[in-house]
Amino acid sequence: MQEGQTIRVLIAKPGLDGHDRGAKVIARALRDAGMEVIYTGLRQTPEQIVEAAIQEDVDVIGLSILSGAHNVLFPRVMELLKERGVDDILVIGGGVIPHEDIPYLKECGIAEIFTPGTPISQIIDFIKNNVKK
């Protein structure tokens, strides 16, 4: 990341669950931390998320899910990014995600999974230190 460039983030809710308190709080906190943030709203398919990320030329995708469908939907997002030849977007995830599922999600290319209770400052630092572009 070049100095002075603003980090662009897409916060996305894949799947059908309507719990977006966390997504919205994170979106706002990242904005307050100086990032440009787009929030997709609810019920986004992996296809829609990847399309939006490419259209908006974001540096980071933050996926939020609380329904338990992460093992299907997170890898699908990574697969689609790969198909579209995108490898410079940092993808992170959060929500109610059992610890034992995390290694698999990381294997699929999700850089980090943030579970309930994570301080937002930790997420901000992670993004700043790991953004790829």
Binding site for other proteins (CB under 8 A): 11, 15-21, 23-25, 27-29, 37, 39-43, 45, 67-69, 71-73, 96, 98-100, 115-117, 119-121
Q: CB of 125: closest distance to other proteins in angstroms? A: 13
Give the nearer residue to other proteins in terms of CB position, either 4 or 119: 119
Q: CB of 91: closest distance to other proteins in angstroms? A: 17
Pick the closest to residue 43 from 67, 23, 18, 68 (CA basis). 18
Decide if 78 contacts 47 (C-beta within 8 A): no
Pick the closest to residue 132 from 65, 97, 86 (CA basis). 86
Q: CB of 50: closest distance to other proteins in angstroms? A: 15
Looking at the DSSP bridge assignments, the partners of residue 65 are 95
Give the nearer residue to other proteins in terms of CB position, either 75 or 133: 75
